[in-house]
Structure 1
Amino acid sequence: MGLQVPGSITASKVSSFKECGLAFRLSVIEKLPQPTTLWTIRGTLTHAVLERMYFQIEPKDRTKKTAIEIVRQVWNESLVDNSLEVILGPGHSQAGRDALFQETIALVLKDFEAEDPSHVNAIATELRLETTLGDTILRGVIDRLDLNDDGSLTVTDYKTGKLPGQIQENERLTGVYFYALLCERVLGTRPKSVQLIYLKDATRIVATPTDQVLRGLESKTEAIWKAVCHACEKEDFRPRPSRMCRFCHYQELCPAQGGSLALISDFKATHVANKKRCENN
């Protein structure tokens, strides 16, 4: 019978399939949730603050003081809708929440070291684009799209983790090249540059999405899509053991880690029960 083929492909899905076929199946096809961590919460808050600052605030008014005020706004809104309480759970102390708040401020302020927000002409934030490639749909959400003085475009992607090594850097550049490809196909304009902003290190990595790069990306993406379809048909998503396995939340389901796929239903049930428990508390 086979497994259901995903409805679309994104940069993160491409990366996930390349890293581990089994983890791709569990997250994308089986839709098994992964626990939210303090790091992902901090990243979500930081992205929300920067989106608001660049979309709602005039360039001349983008100051550190304004940025801190936006952090407070986003934080308070999260408290009102109870999203922080549900995610953090009752087991976290007020000191832990205070530390998360201060860490979010610190990350946002690092953007002022990496670039000058008053000189950025952001024409879109959290821009959702979609197009077709062969028999699949490409989708992506661009953190920020900038219009440069010469009329060209720059795709900006924020990263809240640490600066990667060369191999990881190339992989993450592939993600912003993916967004450049979407711009070319949907907007009819290829961005002049793409940049990764590593907030923790206040570092910008800038690259040029050449025709060769984007045509190569198209070919690789089509090949990966065909591999995904074949794996769905054969129900054959194999684990790829690596040093990253120790960070994987699917270990109890992975045969390479002594787990079993027969536990998928139990895994889902446990997550639903834990989520309800947090909401009730």
Structure 2
Amino acid sequence: MSSPPSVRPEQTGFAGMPTPLYGSSPSRLLAWLDCPRRYRMQYLDRPRPAARPQRAHTSVGIATHNVLRDFWDLPASQRTPQGVAELVRTSWIDVGFRDPEQSAAWRSRVRQAVTDYLRGIDRENQPVGIERSVSLKTDTIAVTGRIDRLDDRGDEVAVVDYKTGRAVPTDDDARTSLPLALYAVAAARMWRKPCTTVELHHVPSNTVARHRHTPESLQRKVAEAESIATDLRRADAEYADVGADSPRFAPRPSALCSWCDFRAHCPEGQAQGPEKSDWAGLVTTD
């Protein structure tokens, strides 16, 4: 008996049926733009190549996000500097730092930064969403992501994304962010309320980068996501046929290679220069 013919991913279903929506996330779409090889190793290879250990700046970012998430679960009487300090203590991730002294110094630094940031917001105005998963479907894609915070601003809801890195985001960063725009479209549909304002809140500097989209600019971002997803659909199908040897997954060497979690599996990335240390992403004076 002959074997049944192989079926490509885009050929599943019966003839005449519509092509299934391409399911993705904003981070998956952006991974493809950064480097097709990293995309392949992160999302397609099974078993997935081993990633490098977590860096300190990632530990700082995760801990900060967790504190800002759990803060809103505290009773009003505990939304104090002491309450924040306790959240930082219990949320701290002691991974990637040079030594215990550096970890302790950054724990204190994060506690102060989060406290200062929270002093500048209305702590009585409970957000309508904290780390809320949202989804957006179009004729070709189904995008799912998670919003750090969704604020009720009266006539509309606004998307807030926390940033903890060294670089202070600008209004232009908020304007060009693909994830923020997709979150805004998804939130407007799910809450049945306008959502055009997107913000990047840089916790270390206590600054806000803001952009107000128009319906036209949001539609352009949706079209951008659909275009990337079209490329990903083809790449995924080719991977299913020929595997990692497909030329679609050629590396895209850049300065990001020094930070890549999969650098150990990429000679071209290693050739871009030495790997960054575990704590290189922290703002240091030593």
Corresponding residue for 1:20?
Answer: 35
User: Contact 1:4–1:29 at 8 Å: present in 2 too?
Assistant: no
CA distance in 2 between partners of 1:202 and 1:11 (Å): 25
CA distance in 2 between partners of 1:100 and 1:165 (Å): 21
Corresponding residue for 1:65?
Answer: 82
CA distance in 1 between partners of 2:64 and 2:224 (Å): 32
CA distance in 2 between partners of 1:24 and 1:151 (Å): 39
Structure 1: runs of 5+ lacking an equivalent: 76-83, 260-281
Structure 2: runs of 5+ lacking an equivalent: 1-5, 11-20, 239-245, 272-286
One-letter amino acid of the counterpart of residue 118, structure 1: R
Q: How far is 1:233 from its partner?
A: 2.3
1:43-85 deviation per Cα after TM superposition (whole angstroms, max 9, x unaligned): 1111111111134343x8633333223223434xxxxxxxx47
User: Contact 1:132–1:138 at 8 Å: present in 2 too?
Assistant: yes
Q: Which moved more, 1:212-221 or 1:118-127?
A: 118-127
CA distance in 1 between partners of 2:52 and 2:139 (Å): 31
Number of aligned residue pairs: give it. 245
Residue among 157, 161, 166 paired with 1:162: 166
Q: How far is 1:218 from its partner?
A: 1.2
1:199-219 deviation per Cα after TM superposition (whole angstroms, max 9, x unaligned): 122110111132112111111
**Whose helix fraction is larger, Structure 1's or Structure 2's?**
1
User: Could you say if the C-alpha distance between residues 117 and 71 of structure 1 is closer, same or farther in structure 2, counting changes exceeding 3 Å?
Assistant: farther
Q: How far is 1:124 from its partner?
A: 1.5
Residue among 153, 163, 184 paired with 2:157: 153
TM-score (norm 1): 0.74
CA distance in 1 between partners of 2:270 and 2:220 (Å): 38
Corresponding residue for 1:124?
Answer: 129
User: Contact 2:175–2:210 at 8 Å: present in 1 too?
Assistant: no
Aligned residues: percent identity?
A: 21
Task: Specify the structure having the higher radius of gyration (Cα).
Answer: 2
Corresponding residue for 1:56?
Answer: 74
User: Could you say what the CA RMSD is over the residues aligned between the two structures, in angstroms?
Assistant: 3.1
TM-score (norm 2): 0.73
Q: Secondary structure at the match of 1:131?
A: strand
User: Could you say if the C-alpha distance between residues 2 and 110 of structure 1 is closer, same or farther in structure 2, counting changes exceeding 3 Å?
Assistant: farther
- 1:1-281 alignment to 2 at 5 Å? 8-30=23-45, 31-32=48-49, 33-58=51-76, 62-75=79-92, 84=93, 87=95, 93-112=99-118, 115-118=120-123, 120-148=125-153, 150-164=154-168, 169=173, 173-234=177-238, 235=246, 236-257=248-269
Q: Secondary structure at the match of 1:241?
A: coil
Q: How far is 1:182 from its partner?
A: 1.5
User: Could you say if the C-alpha distance between residues 29 and 142 of structure 1 is closer, same or farther in structure 2, counting changes exceeding 3 Å?
Assistant: same
Q: Which moved more, 1:162-171 or 1:7-16?
A: 162-171
User: Contact 1:42–1:103 at 8 Å: present in 2 too?
Assistant: no
One-letter amino acid of the counterpart of residue 255, structure 2: R
